Structure 1
């Protein structure tokens, strides 16, 4: 399944088109480069220090696809002169299980691509794919969680029509602070 799935997010007047595809070994160097950003490291639970870490991270993404429980996508900014595209982010559909009515989404944006609606456009493409492809298997809602002190993620959630459901208590070590739970239903 992972070598045929490519999603697209259309360009906007201020942002180029995006392509979403499963992660692959060719992404390792770009992943190391992106993870040099201290802001990204603050908000993610992944630690990518070098090519070995990046390769393990990519292999974890591939295992998730193979198991059918986690679908991670590299988000690429497409250029007519660069068929491969430039890595600008990541979106993931996780905690997927047959017959389970909910799954969780996550995302991050590379520092050089922030402020260009990468995350909301990529999340919208992932959301549509999840409900179209997996929705027949009882998927009714998607959940988005972030710490309350991450206003950028809150803006992404609202732009992507994930409504605030409730404030969650802190749950260290994964969630050291209170969090927001946003939900998007299939028919939203």
Structure 2
């Protein structure tokens, strides 16, 4: 177990969701070398120092209880990194958290994102739902309006479209979609 997180792992089929580790840096850099990743993500990781910083931020998020980042690996593929999932929660008093994800180029089209996101949602609602005293009732998934793949993933995972977010350049040059899934969904 790494310092900074409790060693939580989730599984769904051949996918293992686990906290990020320092030795994931090469796979993280390879994932961020993909042009599609550079197009969709506001955060870019393009050097060993940036990878180390990004991985440290993941550990710090676990320790603070504000960001729960999971490396998604494929156990059928020998533990190959296939994606990233994050649950971002401003604090224990908040009833809403945001989920985010990405998949590697090799994983796209294989159903990785919806399977991993469904596992994360189940865990989040079981761990932080109002019945646990933690108060989490809603999960938001945000993406740029032209990201049709993310819209499909949201719909598959029970996140109906609930609104349009105005553009916020330079990081978000286009309007966005807000999808919300509630604990009762």
* Residue of structure 2 aligned with 1:94, choices 81, 88, 93: 88
Q: Any residues of structure 2 matched to 1:30-69 within 5 Å, and which? A: 30-69=27-66
* Superposition deviation, residue 107 in structure 1: 0.2
* Superposition deviation, residue 45 in structure 1: 1.4
CA distance, structure 2, for counterparts of residue 120 and residue 66 of structure 1: 27
CA distance, structure 1, for counterparts of residue 115 and residue 155 of structure 2: 12
Question: Once superposed, which parts of structure 1, at least 4 consecutive aligned residues long, lie more than 4 Å away?
Answer: none
Q: Calculate the aligned-residue CA RMSD, in Å.
A: 1.3
* Residue of structure 2 aligned with 1:170, choices 167, 179, 183: 167
CA distance, structure 2, for counterparts of residue 96 and residue 158 of structure 1: 24
* Superposition deviation, residue 3 in structure 1: 4.2
Q: Any residues of structure 2 matched to 1:24-173 within 5 Å, and which? A: 24-79=21-76, 82=78, 85-135=79-129, 136=132, 137-173=134-170
Pick which of 43-52 and 22-31 moved more. Answer: 43-52
* Superposition deviation, residue 4 in structure 1: 2.4
Instruction: Output the TM-score relative to the length of structure 1.
Output: 0.92
Instruction: Output the TM-score relative to the length of structure 2.
Output: 0.93
CA distance, structure 1, for counterparts of residue 42 and residue 59 of structure 2: 18
CA distance, structure 1, for counterparts of residue 90 and residue 156 of structure 2: 23
The total of aligned residue pairs comes to: 179
Q: Deviations over 1:32-74 (max 9, x none)?
A: 1111100011111111112111111100100000110000000
* Superposition deviation, residue 173 in structure 1: 2.5
Q: Secondary structure at the match of 1:5?
A: coil
Corresponding position of 1:7: 10
